[in-house]
Amino acid sequence: MNRREALKNTAIWLGTAISATTFGVLFESFTLPENEKNTVSFSADQEKILAELADIIIPSTKDAPGAKAAGLGSFIPMMIKDCYPAKMQEAFAEGLKDLEARSMKDFNKSFLLLGVKEREELVAKLRTDTITQQKADKAAKKNVPYFFVIVRDLTILGYYASEIGCTQAREYIAIPGRYDGATTLKPGQKSWAT
């Protein structure tokens, strides 16, 4: 099974946890034309920003490491460059620049220099602004890619497709028993990753 097929299977498993845009990108049965591949590039600092941003979305817990430990800082740019059309790649790159500009405006510091509380505050504002903009664009019947939505979706997808997500955040059973679609979980029991 290749990487794209594995990610499709994970996306199906996640169901509605990811947006229709990301779902559509993963299920397109085409290969990006050469002129749309890698239209953007990401610096080492931008990958660090994406790792920290993903770690706010899925932080470490007492039971499992977070998104940064799962390698999302390099996974997200790889997915953007390999799977997303040029227009969405450029919108994502612009959103990343806007995040850094907003960090400088609101806190007078680069995102990487912010404390955890400041990062969480900035991401909460970004989320709220994205929801507001989505509602306005939906009313105007615009179909626009949103930086925060793509980051959130790729964080969820990448984390639960990673070894950490499959084996530590979920209960991994290599050879499951019989299928029971109505099984009950005990309090504190992890759901399964098969």
pTM of the model: 0.74
Long-range contacts of 20-26 (CB under 8 A, 24+ apart): 21/88, 21/145, 21/149, 21/150, 21/153, 22/149, 22/150, 22/153, 22/154, 22/157, 25/83, 25/84, 25/85, 25/88, 26/83, 26/157
Distance of CA 133 to the CA centre of its chain: 19
CA angle, 81 then 155 then 23, to 5°: 70
What was the pLDDT predicted at 31? 59
CA-based radius of gyration for the chain: 18
Q: Mind listing the pLDDT tens digit for each residue in 141-160?
A: 877 778 999 999 999 989 98
For residue 14, count other CB atoms closer than 10 A to its CB. 16
Q: Which residues pair with 192 in a beta bridge?
A: 171
Residue type, 126: L
For 71-89, the pLDDT digits (tens) are 999 999 998 988 888 888 9
51-64-177-4 Cα dihedral, nearest 10 degrees: 10
Q: Are 72 and 158 in contact (CB under 8 A)?
A: yes
Query: What's the confidence (pLDDT) of residue 29?
Result: 46
CA 100 centroid distance within chain: 18
CA 157 to chain centre: 6
pLDDT reported for residue 30:
47
Query: Of 192, 152, 155, 142, whose CA–CA distance to 172 is shortest?
Result: 192
Those residues of the chain that have pLDDT short of 50 are 1, 16, 29-30, 194
